[in-house]
Amino acid sequence: MTTEERYRRTIEWFQLTQPAPVTELHYQNPYQLLVAVILSAQCTDKRINMVTPALFEAYPTPEAMASATPDDIFPYIKSVSYPNNKAKNLAGMARALVNEFGGQVPSDIDSLITIPGVGRKTANVILSVVFDKAAMAVDTHVFRVSERIGLTTDSRTPLQTERELVSHIPEELIARAHHWLILHGRYICKARRPDCLNCGLTEVCRYYSKQ
């Protein structure tokens, strides 16, 4: 099977089974999503959705959070992974939004990655989800699933995976493909035990063909 054929059949299956995938993080505006994505690093969306309501009530705007210290923020997020570091990042992020971007979440990757707590993956999530741009955020799920299926061939870093996926997926589908791969990795193609019996991609999957 050629790479082009594998991509075509994979995309067709996802379009059929998940025509409108969305993030599982709860948010109401770009600022809230940015907060949630920063918190979600190495933590589950379920946990983040448990802590953000109280956090957003206390700090409903970037201006409100910018006036807080990491010690102020910590009690709201103490149950997530690496809360000390994330509290510092949230305080720094809010100050950056207020002082450098007029309280608005910027819509370009170069600006986003200057914000504390925002790396390329987080920036791409914001670009794809908030601004509907053709950005592919590569987290552990996307990295693993892409390699297992055979969408990537010799990608050793998230950036290599991102570039390979973007080069093969139609631009108008890239934002959706990000969610397809994440959700597939979260619920079907799990890290320790992929649920191949309930996967519709076994006919094209490189990993399954080797079993």
Residues with active-site annotation: 121, 139
Q: List for the chain the helix, strand, coil content (%; round to 5).
A: 60, 0, 40
Other C-beta atoms closer than 10 Å to the C-beta of 123 total 23
| Alpha-carbon distance values, 5 to 1, 12, 142, 164 (Å) | 6, 11, 19, 15
| Spatial distance between the Cα atoms of 38 and 30, rounded to a whole number of angstroms | 12
Q: How far apart are CA 163 and CA 152, in angstroms?
A: 10
Backbone angles phi, psi at 171, to 5 degrees: -55, -40
Listed residue (70, 75, 205) closest to 144, CA to CA: 205
* 149-154-157 Cα angle (round to 5): 95
Three-state SS at 49: helix
